A and B are shown apart, each in its own frame.
Chain A
Amino acid sequence: MRVSEKIIEGLLWLSAVITILITIGIIWVLLSEAIGFFRVVSLVDFLTEKEWTPLFADKKFGIAPLVAGTLLTTAIAIAVALPIGLTIAIYLNEYAHAGMRQVVKPMLEVLATIPTVVYGFFALTVVTPFLQTLIPRLAGFNALSAGMVMGIMIIPMISSLSEDAISAVPRSLREAAYGMGSTRLQTAFGVMVPAASSGIVVSVILAISRAVGETMIVAVAAGQQPRLTLNPLVPIETITTYIVQVSLGDVPQGSLEYKTIFAAGITLFIFTFALNNLSFWIKKKYQEKYD
């Protein structure tokens, strides 16, 4: 009896430890292939070169254009999702009836369950043609519509995490503000949002991390032209799109072109890893505790 109990506990422990092996696997795979890449291409060139053309005859290996493309689409997505998501969180907490909150929240969650390739189709076939009627210079592939659609996708992420943060602020603070004669708007921005600020910041950081790693929307709608620009109207390429582009072609395994996707991958991993850990740290350090 005792022995079988111990064996079962050991097996369960093993499946928990597999998660650590996954992390080690990710870091090992990215590092070992990227090291092969950096034996040929110097790290200085990788960071300072202004062009990324590993698939052309004249090869340049500067990651900057891919990083610029990634940051551009991410910035547009956050510019859409942050004001809308935060307003929804405040509205649901300070203005809406409890019944409405119960109906609206799951409906917003639907936005997060739609596969991202479907959003890509939407960006390419609906949003871009519509924006082209407003901005005739807009290219068929561009960062603007990919970023905007990505923003719509991450609205529920910001709204629901921020809503949780705001609703964790104790009632007494809100009532004190009302007691001083504040309107709901003044209460929201003068008391509730500052009190919930750490939770709101965490929601935004996680949303940024999500947008940086998002693949299919940008692969479909933002183009495949690595370009060091902040112009949202022209085709660009993100880190994730480059990995997809190489995977779809027939680049021989083990070649330098093949290793570039791991160099791009480790850059992406460092970005998201830093953002995620920053959010854990803020959560732990700054979370207000009320009794």
Chain B
Amino acid sequence: MTNSDINRLKDKAFQAFGIFCTFIGLVVLGIFLFDIILEGVQRIDWDFLTTLPSRRASRAGILTAWVGTVWILVLTTLIAFPLGVSAGVYLEEYSRKNKLNNFLEINIANLAGVPSIIYGLLGLEIFVRQMRLGNSLLAGALTLSLLILPIIIVTTREAIKAVPRSIRDGSYALGASQWQTIWNQVLPASFGGILTGIILALSRAVGEAAPLIVIGALAYVPFTPASPLDEFTVLPIQIFNWTSRPQGAFQTNAAAAIIILLIITFLLNGIAVYLRNRQQKKIKW
């Protein structure tokens, strides 16, 4: 066998290895989803979704958990959406190159890399203790808002950056002010991209358990929250609680709750991908 034959063989071998690596993660994911569905799907029924938690595995439901998750999603959106988009607009449209703005950008990149549990410690001290919000939905939503703020800012900036200069120039030529241009031209044109970013950020928030455990969200809440100042639990914490119990029946409950959580996560991601694709097809500058 000549040298070049050997090299060609190595090349083919690596190609096979590459295909193997590319699919191993997906295969593992497939096995996992299959296992979860097999274990959990027969546990899901109307009662499971509409009953309160219980010490008896067969009677426990996830009503408080999913209601808490929905509350958290709505409150987090209300807080993080205006804040993140405003910051993104400022950095992209107003900020001039100076030291403060340079620092702002580095800082946001840094915040995106801070572990979520550290945000939990921040929320515990500032919202739970200093602002005396207690272990409430509002404290949880504020904490998660800070966590997803960097994601929203970065995606907002990218969406705004994609709006061509000519649209702004056209607006200025008609006598519009800078804010009128942003409000009437730039934001509507980039809205699809901004929305995609928000939904992706929310899909991140919906799966977070660690920061909410740190701020004191409970595993067992006997009633559904009725106001933002009520105590709460969310699906990931309920799953964590059931997973850490030794009895098999609770593991089945955990699997069933995971199916619900994954449906929510995939739904949010699916909407985001759909919006992005539609946006890319619709607009040709």
Chain A residues packing against B (C-beta within 8 Å): 1, 4-5, 8-9, 11-13, 15-20, 22-23, 25-26, 29-30, 33, 83-84, 87-88, 90-92, 95-96, 104, 106-108, 110-111, 113-118, 120-122, 124-126, 152, 155-156, 181, 183-186, 188, 206, 209, 212-216, 219-220, 240, 243-244, 247-248, 253, 261-262, 265, 268-269, 272-273, 275-277, 280
Given contacts A12-B89, A95-B15, contact A269 B118 (CB under 8 A): yes
Q: Show the binding face of B for A, using Cβ within 8 Å.
A: 4, 7-8, 10-11, 14-15, 17-19, 21-22, 24-26, 28-29, 31-32, 35-36, 82-84, 86-87, 89-91, 94-95, 103-104, 106-111, 113-122, 124-126, 129, 146, 149-150, 153, 177-179, 203-204, 206-210, 213-214, 216, 219, 236, 239-240, 243-244, 251, 254-255, 258, 261-262, 265-266, 269, 273
Q: Find out whether the CB atom of A26 lies under 8 angstroms from the CB atom of B122.
A: yes
- A19's partner among B10, B35, B153, B239 (CB-CB below 8 A) is B153
Task: Please tell me if the beta carbons of B24 and A84 are within 8 angstroms of each other in the complex.
Answer: yes
**Structural contact, B15 and A26, CB atoms closer than 8 A:** no
Contacts across chains A and B counted by CB atoms under 8 Å: 236
Q: Are A265 and B117 in contact (CB under 8 A)?
A: yes
- Please state if B262 and A183 are interface contacts (CB–CB under 8 Å): no
- Residue in B208, B213, B236 whose CB lies within 8 Å of A248: B213
Task: Please indicate the chain A residues that have their CB under 8 angstroms from the CB of B255 in the complex.
Answer: 121
B-side contacts of A220, CB under 8 Å: 240, 243-244
| Complex contacts, B177 vs chain A, CB 8 Å | 1, 5
Query: Which of A16, A261, A262 touches B86 (beta carbons < 8 Å)?
Result: A16
A interface: dominant SS: helix
CB-nearest residue of chain B relative to A24?
A: B107
Contact A22 B115 (CB under 8 A): no
Are B214 and A244 in contact, CB atoms less than 8 angstroms apart? yes
A22 with B146: in contact, given A1-B177, A16-B87, A126-B35 (CB under 8 Å)? Answer: yes
Provide 13 A-B residue pairs closer than 8 Å at the C-beta atoms, listed in order of the A residue: A9-B94, A9-B179, A84-B21, A88-B21, A111-B29, A113-B265, A120-B243, A121-B255, A215-B117, A215-B210, A240-B210, A243-B121, A253-B129
Shortest beta-carbon contacts, A-B, top 4: A213-B115, A115-B207, A91-B18, A12-B90
Complex interface: chain B residues within 8 A of A186 (CB): 7, 11
Given contacts A19-B107, A206-B113, A209-B113, contact A115 B206 (CB under 8 A): yes
Contact B110 A247 (CB under 8 A): no
Tell me whether A15 and B90 are in contact (CB under 8 A). Answer: yes
Inter-chain contacts of A121 with B (CB < 8 A): 36, 239, 243, 254-255, 258
Residues of B within 8 A of A106 (CB): 273
A108 & B26 in contact (Cβ 8 Å cutoff): yes
Q: Are B107 and A20 in contact (CB under 8 A)?
A: yes
Count chain B CB atoms within 10 A of each CB in A12, A33, A92, A152 and give the residue with the most.
A12
B243 touches A108 (CB 8 A): no
